[in-house]
Amino acid sequence: MTAHPVAEVGKAARAPRRRLRTRLGGREGLAGWTIVFILIAVAILAPILAPHSPEAIDGNRILAAPTATHPFGSDDLGRDVLSRVLYAYRVSLGIAVGSVLLAMAVGLPIGVFAGYVGGWTDLILMRLIDLLLSFPALLLAISLIAILGPGSLVALLAIAIIYVPIMARVVRSSVLVVRGQAYVRGARARGASHLSIVRGHVLPNAIGPALVQASVLMAFAIVIEAALSFLGLGSQPPTPELGLMLADGNNYLTQAPWVEIFPGLGIAISVLAFNLIGDGLRRSFDPNGITR
Amino acid sequence: MNARLSYALRRLILTAPVLIATSIFVFLLIRLVPGDPVRSMLGIRATPENIATVRSELGLDRPLPQQYWDWIWGVLHGNLGQDFISHEKITSLLKVSLPVTLELTVLAMLLAVGVGVPVGVLVAARTGWARKVSGGFVIGAISIPDFWLGLMLVLVFTGLLNVLPPSGWVPFTQNPVQNLRYMILPVVTLATGQTAYILRTTRAAMLGTLSEPYISFLRAKGLRERSIVYVHALRNASGPIVTVTGIQFGVLLGGAIVIENLFALPGVGRLIVTAISERNYVVVQAGVLTIACLFIVVNLLTDIVHGLLDPRVEEAVSS
């Protein structure tokens, strides 16, 4: 019987790694990760992969249909749509990742603090968060842009700001659950400092739902950013950006549909990938699929 | 009924701080513009006299609390100020644009609920292909950006089939049939994503409810399956459905801003975006305030309906 506790310890040490694999896994989740990694590679390698310069204007190819050298056709200035889509992923993914990281950097500490400390601090912080959430997200983003003026960085900031309360809320509710667990009470009884309890016990156990949320928010960030640019409130021309390309091509929709079809597909694929990851992660946290 | 009334009243009172905070944010909107908002509104050709006039019209030369008081007093009396470009009263601009936004969002929500709830209930009881198809629809509809879906619908229904107008608008009172024809594509565009969310929530809530012991009891009692599903289970599953519908209405109001611009519908969203590009801050302010208030009202109604459908909510609040 003396071997038993030892075996338990060994199991506990291996468990997180196995959990991580299942968490990433699921057919859906893996498909999502694969697409995301390909898209990140595309964004980084855009200068090598793109057959033409994204800003090269060609008077002979205005709204030209797809050909072997220009598989996605050309836009109203004769620019190669494929090259522009490849470059546009830099902006889309950059803003999506940047805004979610920024929101996590701000929202995570707020959520952990509110959930862990509890009491009045929690009440006041959560009422403030509720106030922010009582504003439609896109409207809040647009209002911030109305104040600061349009641009890619402003869009990133605006998206991050609408994500902070969402992040803080999700983290807080999982911290609330973790805080009451026996191992946290045990650590406190052992005399561990609050900081080490938060770092060693609370954060690792409460981070899961925040990661699910992060991948879903990443998907939304791509859509919001594209929508803002489509309205002329995000990235400005001549930046190759998916929403902006859709806005440009809108006037030639029936004449040159390829200018609209491919950038839109580009958005949809990236959004789908992050949604698949989110769904896969969620499923691994909730195997019964009740919350789906 | 008394408990319900007091729940509704309490919920109404809780709205007050949200309204006040919203009003302060909207009020600060102009004042937070970096540099001189009046100068950027009027452009480089503005004379100093012009700037001074506009500044005193907006009350920007008075102390901040005084400005807020004057502004909110005006808003409460239906005076939202004047459009700087057309010199029209903003209330008369909203009188035209608000009904358009309301028609668009309410029709889209009705369509989303009308399709999402019944289909969600149907697939909850099923496995196999029905679940796969609905799952595929959900992830697809959530991932396709609504404005791109709108563009593709225009491409198909205007470009290829030529059965619907690509964009434009006539008032419902002037020509109801034409008005609805203009509304079909925007409403379907806006409703598709919402249908997916509502379908997914309905399915999940129904799955949870259908596995409860009282459902087995009702089955054992010999109730017809249809009455079990649609009367007993659906009512108990309605909480999350109503809540998500309410939340999604906020998303819908945001989405309407994009869709109105795509389909050239003269709604509040189009008003806001046009005003931003013209630096017409007073109009931006009024538009943002309108949509934010609409959202608050929808949230309030959602909570009250939720409480009426599910008495446990009242108890949770009063205890």
CATH number at residue A260: 1.10.3720.10
Q: Which residue of A has its CA nearest to B283?
A: A146
Q: Helix, strand, or coil here: B77?
A: coil
State whether residue B266 is helix, strand or coil: coil
pLDDT band at A164 (very low <50, low <70, confident <90, very high): very high
Cα of B8 to nearest chain A Cα, Å? 18
Distance of CA B287 to the CA centre of its chain: 13
Per-residue pLDDT for B305 more than 70? Answer: yes
H/E segment holding residue B7: helix B2-31
Q: Is the dihedral of CA A217, A219, A220, A222 positive or negative?
A: positive
Residue A33 CA to its chain's centroid (Å): 13
Q: How far is CA B191 from the centre of its chain?
A: 11
Q: Is B301 on the interface with A (CB under 8 A)?
A: no
How far is the C-alpha of B123 from the C-alpha of B149, rounded, in Å? 25
Domains of chain B, CATH where assigned:
90-318 (1.10.3720.10)
Contact B54, B39 (CB under 8 A): no
Q: How far is B34 from chain A (nearest CA, A)?
A: 7
Is A56 part of any domain?
Answer: no
Greatest CA separation for chain A: 83
CB < 8 Å to A147, chain B: 29, 32-34
Q: How far is C-alpha B33 from the geometric centre of its chain's CA atoms? A: 26
- Average of per-residue pLDDT across B252-258: 90
Return d(Cα B22, Cα B9) in angstroms, integer. 20
Chain A nearest-CA distance from B122, in A, is: 16
Separation of alpha carbons A126 and A169, rounded Å: 8
Q: CA of B22, closest CA in chain A: separation in Å?
A: 8
- Spell out which residues of chain B touch residue A271, defining contact as CB-CB under 8 Å: 142-145
Among the ranges A145-154, A232-241, B83-92, B186-195, which has the highest mean pLDDT value?
Answer: B186-195
Closest to A227 measured CA to CA, from B150, B169, B222, B266: B150
Residues B228, B233, B239: CA angle, nearest 5 degrees: 160
CB atoms within 10 A of CB B78: 9
For residues A60 and A242, the model is more confident at: A242
What is the pLDDT, as a whole number, of residue A23?
60
pLDDT of residue B236: 84
User: Which of A46-60, A102-116, A152-166 bottoms out in mean pLDDT, i.e. has the lowest?
Assistant: A46-60
Q: Which domain holds residue A158?
A: 87-285
Question: Which residues in chain B are closer than 8 Å to A287, comparing Cβ atoms?
Answer: none
Residue A19's pLDDT band (cuts 50, 70, 90): low
For residue B10, the tally of other CB atoms under 10 A from its CB is 13
CA atoms within 13 A on the CB side of B210: 21
Question: What's the mean per-residue pLDDT of chain A?
Answer: 84
Averaged pLDDT for residues B64-74: 86
Are B296 and A134 an interchain contact pair (Cβ–Cβ within 8 Å)?
A: yes
- A97 domain-assigned: yes
Q: Which residues contact B204 (CB under 8 A, 6 or more apart)?
A: A289, A290, A291, A292, B240
- Amino acid A20: pLDDT: 59
State the nearest Cα–Cα gap between A189 and chain B, in angstroms.
32
Question: Across the interface, do B284 and A146 touch by the CB < 8 Å criterion?
Answer: yes
Q: Which residue of B has its CA nearest to A262?
A: B148
Q: Is residue A119 part of a domain?
A: yes
Domain count, chain A: 1
Residue A246: what residue type?
Answer: L
Nearest to B151 among A145, A260, A292 (CB): A260
In chain B, residues with a C-beta closer than 8 Å to the C-beta of A289 are 204, 207
* Nearest residue in B to A289, CA atom: B204
CA–CA gap between residue B69 and residue B150 (Å, rounded): 42
Question: Does residue B247 sit at the A interface (CB-CB below 8 Å)?
Answer: no
- Does B261 reach chain A within 8 Å, measured CB to CB? yes
Asked if B159 and B176 count as a contact pair (C-beta separation under 8 A), the reply is no
Nearest CA in chain B to A142: B273
Q: Report d(CA B25, CA A81) in Å as an integer.
A: 41
pLDDT at residue B158 in the model: 86
Q: Tell me: the pLDDT tens digits for A177-219?
A: 888 888 888 888 888 888 888 888 888 888 888 888 899 899 9
Is the Cβ of B142 closer than 8 Å to some Cβ of chain A? yes
Whether the CB-CB separation of A253 and A247 falls below 8 Å is answered with no
Q: Tell me the pLDDT band of B112, cut-offs 50, 70 and 90.
A: very high
**How far does A254 lie from chain B, in Å, by closest CA?**
5
CB distance A242 to A266 below 8 Å: yes
B34 touches chain A (CB under 8 A): yes
Q: Please answer yes or no on whether A233 and B151 come within 8 Å at the CB atom.
A: no
Residue A74 has φ and ψ, to the nearest 5°, of -125, 155
Domain assignment present for A128:
yes
| C-alpha span between B23 and B14 (Å, rounded) | 15
A143 and B284 within 8 Å at the Cβ level: the answer is yes
- Hey, is the C-beta of B254 within 8 angstroms of any chain A C-beta? yes
The pTM of the full predicted model, rounded to 2 decimals, is: 0.86
> For residue A221, is it within any domain?
yes
